[in-house]
Structure 1
Amino acid sequence: MNTPVPVPPPAPLPAPPPGGRRTPLVLRNGAFAAVWLGQVLTQAAVRMFQVGVAWWIVAHAVQGARGLASGLFMALCTLPAVVLAPVVAGTVATFAHRSVLRTAAGLAAATAGGLALWAQGGGPPLAGVYAAALALATCQAFFDPCLTTSVPQLVDDADIETATGFELSTQSLAGLGGALLGALTVDGAGVAGLAAGCAAAYGAAAVLVASARFRDPAPPGGGPAAPPARRPLRRILGELPYVRRILVCFTAANLFTAAVFVVIPLYTRSVLHGGGGTVGLLEASLGGGALVGAFTGTRVPGRPATVGAWCLTLMALALALPGLFAHRLVIACCLAVAGWCAGAVSVRFVSLFQRLVPTADKPGFFAVMQAVLGASLPVASLVFGAAGDRFSPQTLCLVQGVGLLPAACALALLGSRTAEPARPEAPQALGGAR
Structure 2
Amino acid sequence: MTDESTDPQPAGSRSGSPALWRHRDFMLLWSGQTISEMGSAVTQIALPLVAVLLLDASTFEVGLLAAAGTAAFVLIALPAGSIVDSRPKRSVMIVCNVLRLVVVGSVPAAAAFGVLTMAQLYAVALAAGVCTVFFDVAYQSYVPSLIAADDLMDANGKLGTTQAFAQLGGPSLGGGLVGLFGAAGAMVADALSYVVSVLSILGIAKREEPPARPVDEPLRRRITGGLRFVLGHPVLRQVVACTGTANLFSGMSWSLAIVFLVRELHVKPALTGLVMAAAAVGGIAGGALAGRLAKKIGSARIIWVSTLVFGAPQTIVAAAWPGWGVLLAPLGWAIGYFASMVYNIAQLSYRQSVTPPELMGRMNAAVRWVVWGTLPLGGVLGGLLGTLIGVRATLWLAFGGAWAAGWFVFFSPLRRLRDVPQSVPESASR
Q: TM-score range by the shorter chain?
A: 0.7 to 0.9
Give yes or no for contact 1:267–1:393 (8 Å, CA) kept in 2. Answer: yes
Give yes or no for contact 1:243–1:353 (8 Å, CA) kept in 2. Answer: yes
Give yes or no for contact 2:178–2:270 (8 Å, CA) kept in 1. Answer: no
> In 2, Cα distance between the equivalents of 1:278 and 1:191?
13
Alpha carbons of structure 1 residues 91 and 391: separation in structure 2 relative to 1, 3 Å: same
Q: Which amino acid aligns with 1:292?
A: A
Deviations 1:190-239 (A, max 9, x none): 2441232121111111111111123446xxxxxxx772657522332244
1:121 maps to which of 113, 116, 127: 113
Cα deviation for residue 334 of structure 1 reads 1.5
Alpha carbons of structure 1 residues 226 and 140: separation in structure 2 relative to 1, 3 Å: closer
Partner SS for 1:212: coil
Cα deviation for residue 335 of structure 1 reads 1.2
Alpha carbons of structure 1 residues 304 and 407: separation in structure 2 relative to 1, 3 Å: farther
Which position in structure 2 is the counterpart of 1:53?
47
Which position in structure 2 is the counterpart of 1:206?
198
Cα deviation for residue 345 of structure 1 reads 0.6
Give yes or no for contact 2:85–2:211 (8 Å, CA) kept in 1. Answer: no
Alpha carbons of structure 1 residues 330 and 362: separation in structure 2 relative to 1, 3 Å: same
Cα deviation for residue 305 of structure 1 reads 5.9
For this pair of structures, how many residues does the alignment match?
404
> In 2, Cα distance between the equivalents of 1:304 and 1:372?
23
> In 1, Cα distance between the equivalents of 2:78 and 2:320?
44
Give yes or no for contact 1:305–1:412 (8 Å, CA) kept in 2. Answer: no
Alpha carbons of structure 1 residues 406 and 202: separation in structure 2 relative to 1, 3 Å: same
Cα deviation for residue 400 of structure 1 reads 1.9
Which position in structure 1 is the counterpart of 2:265?
272
Partner SS for 1:259: helix
1:67 maps to which of 59, 65, 74: 59
Aligned: 1:255 with 2:240: no
1:382 maps to which of 361, 380, 383: 380
Aligned: 1:227 with 2:225: no
Alpha carbons of structure 1 residues 375 and 293: separation in structure 2 relative to 1, 3 Å: same
> In 1, Cα distance between the equivalents of 2:34 and 2:414?
36
Give yes or no for contact 1:320–1:398 (8 Å, CA) kept in 2. Answer: yes
Q: Which amino acid aligns with 2:275?
A: L
Partner SS for 2:388: coil
2:88 maps to which of 90, 96, 102: 96
Worse overlay, 173-182 or 136-145? 173-182
5+ residue gaps, structure 1? 1-5, 12-20, 218-224, 428-434
5+ residue gaps, structure 2? 11-15
Which position in structure 1 is the counterpart of 2:304?
309
Cα deviation for residue 246 of structure 1 reads 1.4
Cα deviation for residue 36 of structure 1 reads 1.8
1:410 maps to which of 408, 423, 430: 408
Cα deviation for residue 37 of structure 1 reads 2.2
Alpha carbons of structure 1 residues 318 and 425: separation in structure 2 relative to 1, 3 Å: closer
1:318 maps to which of 306, 313, 323: 313
Worse overlay, 386-395 or 360-369? 386-395
Q: What's the Cα RMSD here?
A: 2.9
Q: Which amino acid aligns with 1:102?
A: I
1:131 maps to which of 123, 134, 137: 123
Deviations 1:23-73 (A, max 9, x none): 462x3111111112222233332332132111232344225xx22111111
Give yes or no for contact 1:237–1:244 (8 Å, CA) kept in 2. Answer: yes
The normalised TM-score by structure 1 is 0.84
> In 1, Cα distance between the equivalents of 2:49 and 2:386?
14
Cα deviation for residue 325 of structure 1 reads 3.8
Which position in structure 2 is the counterpart of 1:395?
393
Aligned: 1:176 with 2:168: yes
Give yes or no for contact 1:40–1:171 (8 Å, CA) kept in 2. Answer: yes
Give yes or no for contact 1:263–1:393 (8 Å, CA) kept in 2. Answer: yes
Give yes or no for contact 2:176–2:270 (8 Å, CA) kept in 1. Answer: yes
Partner SS for 2:71: helix
Alpha carbons of structure 1 residues 122 and 87: separation in structure 2 relative to 1, 3 Å: same
Worse overlay, 391-400 or 125-134? 391-400
Which position in structure 1 is the counterpart of 2:292?
299
Cα deviation for residue 78 of structure 1 reads 0.7
> In 2, Cα distance between the equivalents of 1:188 and 1:292?
30
Q: Which amino acid aligns with 1:347?
A: I
Deviations 1:254-301 (A, max 9, x none): 111232322221111222211124311232133221122122122223
> In 2, Cα distance between the equivalents of 1:226 and 1:265?
43
Cα deviation for residue 318 of structure 1 reads 3.2
> In 2, Cα distance between the equivalents of 1:108 and 1:405?
33
Aligned: 1:282 with 2:280: no
> In 1, Cα distance between the equivalents of 2:69 and 2:345?
23
Which position in structure 1 is the counterpart of 2:34?
40
Aligned: 1:105 with 2:100: no
Which position in structure 2 is the counterpart of 1:28?
22
Cα deviation for residue 131 of structure 1 reads 1.2
> In 1, Cα distance between the equivalents of 2:259 and 2:310?
20
Aligned: 1:157 with 2:149: yes
Partner SS for 1:241: coil
Give yes or no for contact 2:239–2:408 (8 Å, CA) kept in 1. Answer: no
Worse overlay, 189-198 or 299-308? 299-308
Give yes or no for contact 1:319–1:397 (8 Å, CA) kept in 2. Answer: no
Q: Which amino acid aligns with 1:302?
A: I
> In 2, Cα distance between the equivalents of 1:97 and 1:10?
29
Give yes or no for contact 1:7–1:424 (8 Å, CA) kept in 2. Answer: no
Give yes or no for contact 1:228–1:360 (8 Å, CA) kept in 2. Answer: no
Give yes or no for contact 2:72–2:130 (8 Å, CA) kept in 1. Answer: yes
